[in-house]
Amino acid sequence: MNNQKIKHLVSSCSLVVLLSLLTGCDNTDYKTRIQKENDNINPNGNRAICLAVGEIYKDMYPYTIHYLEGEINPKDPYDKIAANNEVNLKLSLYAKEGLFTEELVGYDGDKPLYRYDLTDEGRKYLDKKWWGGTNFCFGKVVVEKILEIDHQLKNMPMVYFSYHMENVPNWIKNPEIYRLYPGYGSMEAAVTGNELAEGTHYYSKKSDGTLKLRTGESGRYVL
């Protein structure tokens, strides 16, 4: 290789490095990395999402619903009455999908009291850790495309991507259920498959320059 070619090669390499420094160019294969990260968190492909039913623990089954009434304390940020009503509704909806048995056991005034227990089908999706009570888990994230790599925060890149979800049971496709979980913005896209869902992985850069995942898509608990 003659001197002119060597100079041209060095100049080209220097230009690439300079552009990388100026533009924050990131050559990481994020599609492969994000897929591996999701699979590491969710090796069996059945718990990308865990949906909270309520603070009902193992020793509370069979569980009989109750009703709360009274004035709401305006200084209390937690509306206990609304939360209790939501648990009762979730139990009823999941029972219709076969995850609970439902038995009428009496009345509180004119309000029916139902007793619920987990079915074999319900136990298939039950999160055995009982984090926050009863949670049903499902799904595997499959990365489709990297949409954007955001380097606005120094040493804390954010990677936006599209994905579809596999291992989605029929019960979560009921809009009466997934619309109860507004905390998960892409729930509808993820569970119906009508369009690609979008997710974000948040990273921090370690002292040696490598990236550490701070928050990922799989393994989420949704209240």
List b or e across 57-75, with b for residues whose CB sees 16 or more CB atoms inside 10 angstroms: eeeeeebebeeeeeeeeee
Residue found under tokens 């003659």: 2
> How do residues 6-25 score in pLDDT, each as one tens digit?
444 444 444 433 334 434 56
pLDDT in the model for residue 59: 97
> How do residues 143-201 score in pLDDT, each as one tens digit?
999 999 999 888 899 999 999 999 999 999 999 999 998 867 668 898 999 999 999 99
Average pLDDT of the segment spanning 199-206: 94
- The ranges assigned to domains in the chain are 26-48+139-222, 57-125
What phi-psi label fits residue 100: left (phi over 0), alpha (psi between -120 and 50 degrees) or beta? Answer: beta
- In terms of Cα–Cα distance, which of 130, 216, 139 is closest to 178? 139
Q: How confident is the model at residue 5 (pLDDT cuts 50, 70, 90)?
A: low
Average pLDDT of the segment spanning 106-128: 97
> How do residues 65-103 score in pLDDT, each as one tens digit?
999 987 667 777 778 898 999 999 999 999 999 999 999
Average pLDDT of the segment spanning 38-67: 96
Q: Which residues lie across from 137 on neighbouring strands?
A: 50
How far apart are alpha carbons 106 and 165 in whole angstroms?
A: 41
